[in-house]
Amino acid sequence: MKKTAVRFDPFKVEQEEWKRQQRKERYKKALTICSPIFVLLLWEFLSRTALIDPRFFPPPFEILKTFLAMGMSGELFSHIWISLYRIFAGFLLGVIPGVIIGLLMGLYSPVRHFISPLVMALMPIPTLALLPLIIILFGIGDMSKVVTIAGSVFFPVVINTAAGVLNIDAIYLDVAKNYGAGSKEYFFKIALPGSLPVMLEGIQMGQAIALLTIVAAEMMGATSGIGYLIWTSYKAFLLKEMFVGLILISFFGYLFSLGLRMLQKKLIPWR
Amino acid sequence: MEEPSKIVIKNLTKVFYKKESRVTALDRMTTTIKDGEFVCLVGPSGCGKTTLLRILAGLEKASTGSYQIVPSGKDRPLQSMVFQEKGVIPWLTVKENVAFGLKMRKLPKSIIQERTDYYLKKTGLNESASLYPKELSGGMKQRVSIARAFANDPEILLMDEPFAALDEQNKFILQEELLAIWTETKKTVLFITHSIDEALLLADRILLMSAQPGKIASEIQVHLPRPRTMEQVRADQGAAAAFMEIRKHLQDEVQASRE
C-alpha cells in the first residue's frame, strides 16, 4: 500500500530522487576526506608489519611523535619560520613585478613585443640551475633564497597576467570606448578586473612553484629552513625527521592553496 | 512641420583592406535622419549595417566621406550604443553597468544616482540592482544594456540587433518596453534588425540596404499610428504590403549575392 502511494505521488518520487542525490554528494565528500586517512593507515600497517621497509618508510605515528619531539625542542619552529619568511618574501618579490610587467604587456603592444621574446627565452632556464650564480651574487643568507623563489614565481605570473588582459572580450573594449572611458578608467574598470581570473590562476601556480623551489634552494648553500632540515636529516639517515620536513611542505602547500582559493572567491564574486 | 536633421551622413565609404582582399563594406552612403526619428536599418547579412553603426559609434573610422551628429547644445554625449547580447560587463553589478556611462563622464554623484535609479525602475531592474550579470536571464541583460544607454542621455541611440538573441516572448516584451521609454524621451534612434516585424513595429522609417557594397537601396515610411502594438502591425494593410516589399527585397539581395 505504502509503496504504491510513493510510486504514484510525483512529488514523493522526486523527493526520493533528491534524497538519493544528496546521499551521493555526502558519499563523495566522505571519499575526499577518507583518502588521505586511508593512505596513512595503510602506510602505518605496512610499515608496522615490515611489508615495506620501516627504515625508509617509518610509520606515520612515529613521524608524528618525532614531529612533537622536534616541536618541543623549539628547533623545528625556527626552521619553519625562516622558510615561511623566505617563501613570502620571494613570492611577493616575484608576484608584484610579474603583475605590473604583465599588465603593461597586456595593455601596450610595443611593450609586449619588446618583452615577450625575453620572457620566452628566460622562462625555460630553471632558476635552480642559476643558484650557484645567485649565491655568488647574494651570498648564502636569506637573500639568495628569496631571489631564487622570486625568479621562479615571476614567469607564470607575468605570462598569465598578460594573457588575462589580452583575453578580455573585445566587446568590453568597445563598450568602454563607446561610453567614453579614459585610459585610467579603462585600466581600473575593464583591464584590471577583466584580467583578474587568469592572473589569479598564474599566482596560484606561482605559489606552488615557490614551495617547490624553497626546498631545493635550501638544500644548497643554506644553514636553516625546512629544505635544510630535509637535506641534513637525509644525509644523517634520520628519515623520520626528513619525513617531518616533507609533510610540513605538503601541509603548507595545502594551506596556501586554500588561502588563495578563498582570496579568489573574494576578488571575483562575479564569476 | 519639418523636424531638424539629427544625423547627416554624406558619401560615407568604408573599405576593409587586407593583403588578399579588399571589401567595400559601405559605398558612398548618404542619408539624413531627423531629430526624434526612429529609423530601422534592414538588409542582408554582411551588407555593412554594423559597420555603419560602428562608425557612428566612434569604434571604427570611415575610409572617406563624412557624418555629423548635430548636437543639441546641452551637455550630452553624442551617442550611446546598445550592443548585441554580450555588451553587459560581467564584473560590474547591474547598477554599476547602468551607471557606467555617467561615471565615465564624471557627473556629480547625485545625478548619477538619480538617473541610474530612474532607469533601473523604468526597466524593472531595481530589484536586481546589486546582482552580477551572470545571475540574469538574457532578457534582463538586454534591459541593463538599454538602461545604460538611456541613462547616459545621448544625442542619439545606436542599437545593434539588441533583441536578436532573445526568445520570441521576451522579444515582444522588450520591444514594447523600448517603445515606452523611447516615447518618453523622444531620442533619435538608429536600430539594426533582421526581423521585418520588429522594424515595422518600431520604426518611423525603414532603410533597406543592398548587399555588398552596402548602400541604401530604398526606404519605407511606416505610417502606423503610435503607440503601436503587434496586433496593429498585423492587421494593417499598408504594413502587410511593406512586409512583402521588404521580404522581396531581402530575398532578391540574397539571390543576387549567390549568383
CATH code of the domain in which B210 resides:
3.40.50.300
Q: Quick one: A141 and A228 in the same domain? A: yes
Structural domain contains residue A156: yes
Structural domain contains residue B128: no
Which residue in the set B77, B87, B152 is minimally distant from A171, CB to CB?
B87
The per-residue pLDDT for A4 is 55
Which residue in the set B81, B103, B132 is minimally distant from A178, CB to CB?
B81
Q: At what angle do helices A75-107 and A109-122 cross, to 10 degrees?
A: 140
Q: At what angle do helices A226-235 and A75-107 cross, to 10 degrees?
A: 130
* Torsion angle of the four alpha carbons B98, B102, B105, B108, in this order, in degrees rounded to the nearest 10: -140
Residue B171 CA to chain centroid, in angstroms?
14
Structural domain contains residue A58: no
Q: Quick one: A173 and A76 in the same domain? A: yes
Q: Quick one: A44 and A88 in the same domain? A: no
DSSP state of B11: E
| Alpha carbon distance B112, B174 (integer Å) | 24
| Domains identified in chain B, total number | 1
Could you tell me the strand order of the sheet in which B5-17 lies? B22-34, B5-17, B64-69
Which residue in the set A169, A179, A268 is minimally distant from B104, CB to CB?
A179
Cell numbers 545621448: residue: B154
List of chain A residues whose C-beta atoms are within 8 Å of the C-beta of residue B83: 171, 174-175
Structural domain contains residue B168: no
> pLDDT of A174-210, one tens digit each?
999 999 999 999 999 999 999 999 999 999 999 999 9
> pLDDT of A98-124, one tens digit each?
999 999 999 999 999 999 999 999 999
Structural domain contains residue B140: no
List of chain B residues whose C-beta atoms are within 8 Å of the C-beta of residue A176: 104
What is the domain range of residue A115?
A: 69-267
Q: Quick one: A30 and A149 in the same domain? A: no
List of chain A residues whose C-beta atoms are within 8 Å of the C-beta of residue B81: 174-175, 178
Q: Quick one: A110 and A20 in the same domain? A: no
pLDDT at A47 over 70: yes
Q: Quick one: A221 and A118 in the same domain? A: yes
- State the best of B55, B91, B92 to mutate against chain A, taking most chain A CBs within 10 Å: B91
| Alpha carbon distance B251, B85 (integer Å) | 26
Q: Sorting pLDDT into bands at 50, 70 and 90, what band is A157?
A: very high
In chain B, the DSSP E strands lie at 5-17, 22-34, 38-42, 64-69, 79-82, 156-160, 188-192, 205-209, 216-221
DSSP state of B2: P
Structural domain contains residue A215: yes
> What is the percent of chain A with per-residue pLDDT over 70, rounded to a whole number?
97
Which residue in the set B81, B101, B132 is minimally distant from A269, CB to CB?
B132
Structural domain contains residue B136: no
B100 contacts A189? CB cut-off 8 A: yes
Contact indicator for B196, B246 with CB cutoff of 8 Å: yes
Q: Quick one: A43 and A84 in the same domain? A: no
Structural domain contains residue A216: yes
| Domains identified in chain A, total number | 2
Structural domain contains residue A210: yes
Which residue in the set B84, B104, B132 is minimally distant from A181, CB to CB?
B104
Residues from A contacting B (CB-CB < 8 Å) are 169, 171-172, 174-182, 185, 189-190, 193-194, 196, 268-271
CATH number at residue A127: 1.10.3720.10
Structural domain contains residue B182: no
B134 contacts A270? CB cut-off 8 A: yes
B92 contacts A179? CB cut-off 8 A: no
Per-residue model confidence as pLDDT tens for chain B (259 residues): 567 899 999 999 999 988 888 888 899 999 999 999 999 999 888 788 999 999 999 999 999 999 999 998 888 999 999 998 789 999 999 999 999 999 999 999 999 999 999 999 999 999 999 999 999 999 999 999 999 999 999 999 999 999 998 998 999 999 999 999 999 999 999 999 999 999 999 999 999 998 878 889 899 999 999 888 888 899 999 999 999 999 999 998 888 877 7
Structural domain contains residue B233: no
Q: Quick one: A150 and A210 in the same domain? A: yes
Contact indicator for B217, B252 with CB cutoff of 8 Å: no
List of chain B residues whose C-beta atoms are within 8 Å of the C-beta of residue A191: none
Task: Please choose, from the candidates B73, B89, B56, the residue with its C-alpha nearest in 3D space to the C-alpha of residue B4.
Answer: B73
List of chain A residues whose C-beta atoms are within 8 Å of the C-beta of residue B90: 270
Structural domain contains residue A237: yes
Could you tell me the strand order of the sheet in which B205-209 lies? B79-82, B156-160, B188-192, B38-42, B205-209, B216-221
Structural domain contains residue B62: yes
- Looking at every residue in chain A, the average pLDDT score rounds to 92
Structural domain contains residue B238: no
List of chain A residues whose C-beta atoms are within 8 Å of the C-beta of residue B57: 174, 178
Residues in a beta bridge with B9: B31, B67
pLDDT at A7 over 70: no
List of chain B residues whose C-beta atoms are within 8 Å of the C-beta of residue A171: 83-84, 86-87
Q: Which residues contact A202 (CB under 8 A, 6 or more apart)?
A: A98, A102, A156, A157, A158, A159, A160, A161, A164
Structural domain contains residue A116: yes
Q: Quick one: A44 and A89 in the same domain? A: no
A271 contacts B134? CB cut-off 8 A: yes
pLDDT at A156 over 70: yes
The two beta strands, B156-160 and B79-82, are parallel
10 Å CB burial of residue A50 (0-12, 13-18, 19+) is: exposed
Structural domain contains residue A218: yes
Q: Quick one: A86 and A31 in the same domain? A: no
B86 contacts A177? CB cut-off 8 A: no
Task: Please choose, from the candidates B158, B149, B141, the residue with its C-alpha nearest in 3D space to the C-alpha of residue B119.
Answer: B149
| Structure ipTM | 0.91
What is the domain range of residue B30?
A: 1-76+190-219
Q: Which residues contact A263 (CB under 8 A, 6 or more apart)?
A: A200
The per-residue pLDDT for B256 is 83
